[in-house]
Amino acid sequence: MNKKETIIQTRAKKLRKKLSVIYPDAYCELDYKNPLQLLVATILSAQCTDVRVNKVTPLLFQRCESAIDYSTISQEELETIIHSTGFFRNKATAIRKTAMALLQRHQGIVPSTLGELSALPGVGRKTANVVLSNAFNIHEGVVVDTHVGRLAQRLGLTSQHHPVKIEQDLMKLFNRKDWGILSHWLIWHGRRRCYARKPDCRHCELHALCPSAKKFLIELG
């Protein structure tokens, strides 16, 4: 391990300790009661806030309780229910196709392996990791959404820009048992402090560990 790698590894350890204190109760902020609900909610969360998704899912989950329900609901009705989440046509199509695949391949049950989940229509690695980590407590990787990607770069944990490469860097820096909670910590910090446009560096609890803080403070005046 070279000097740069040692510095990053040390920073990661300090960040892990700090984040666990700042957000001891961090959790997935999508509302769900079972793996199928989480899978659908995660598909809906693309380019949409969890708050908005949580306003839509109560009616949706009441209307559709099983993979059969999602496969038989009309495209038009589903689009109407999820309209406010944006990209509703594509999302409705993805949900219905995923439900059909669940029925054809898994007897309508959401599988608990990365390969089987990732092979479902409309389900990529990120969505699969969300479901595995939160619904099954299985940690095959780190969920890299826009918040995680942004913070991993700002905190100097990666120089990569592609989600899969960012994930690979984070997996090397943190213990497997922390992969699930790590994404929650970073997502919570991204939503509450390290905003995309104007990060609140002055009040940031991670200020002393963040290589980007000084730059943002100068830019923000």
**DSSP code of residue 86:** S
DSSP element (H, E) containing 170: helix 163-173
Strands (E) across 54-143 are located at: none
Q: How far apart are CA 211 and CA 90, in angstroms?
A: 39
Catalytic site positions:
126, 145
Q: Judge contact between 100 and 66, C-beta under 8 A.
A: no
Q: How far apart are CA 36 and CA 71, in angstroms?
A: 13
DSSP element (H, E) containing 77: helix 75-82
DSSP element (H, E) containing 186: helix 179-192
3-state SS assignment for residue 149: helix
**The two three-digit tokens of residue 119, written as one number:** 């092979």
In order, the DSSP letters of 3-36 are HHHHHHHHHHHHHHHHHHHH-TT----S--SSHH
DSSP element (H, E) containing 57: helix 50-63
Where on the phi/psi map is residue 37: left (φ > 0), alpha (ψ -120 to 50), or beta?
A: alpha
